[in-house]
Amino acid sequence: MSQKPSQRPQRGTLLAFDYGLKNIGVAVGEAQFSSASEHGILKARDGVPNWDQLGALLQEWQPVLVLVGKPLNMDGSDSELSRRATKFSNRINGRFNVPVELVDERLSSREAKQEAAERNHRGKYGDNPIDAIAARIILETWYQLRADD
């Protein structure tokens, strides 16, 4: 599993996850077009998803790379949640044999809440959109970091 910046794939689907203890936001993108769209959430129990659902999502989209947001403290140090997100990413890699990369997501949840408010949503429409918005922001951040690749 890669935890440092990887070379950007030229083509293929990317999946991004905003890891959380109750909900894991999901976004889908296409490397060739730097696209990113919200795809909903996976429910989790104390950070553990339904692995069959996650596996079905991976089977459906066949990603060339999976991105997992790593919620670091503002000073860049690990938090308990970032350690759990790292464990989650290791399990995706180990269970499904798909490349996984961690992405610094320190401000994605705040940005997602702000965006939801701008859409006049109070944090919920359908399933909780903030987690899916945050996953999309993680994917967009990853694209921006590799714009010169």
On average, the pLDDT of the chain sits at 85
DSSP assignments along 80-138, one per residue: HHHHHHHHHHHHHHHHH---EEEEE-TTHHHHHHHHHHHTT--S-SSS-HHHHHHHHHH
* Of 8, 12, 50, residue with least CA distance to 142: 8
**128 pLDDT higher than 60:** no
Q: What is the pLDDT of residue 38?
A: 92
Q: If pLDDT is split at 50, 70 and 90, which confidence band does 36 have?
A: very high
CA distance 43 to 19: 10
Mean pLDDT of 11-21: 95
What is the set of domains in the chain, with CATH numbers? 13-145 (3.30.420.140)
What is this structure's pTM? 0.84
Question: What percentage of residues in the chain have a pLDDT greater than 90?
Answer: 60
Q: What is the pLDDT of residue 109?
A: 63
Mean pLDDT of 39-58: 96
Q: What is the pLDDT of residue 9?
A: 75
Q: What is the pLDDT of residue 20?
A: 92
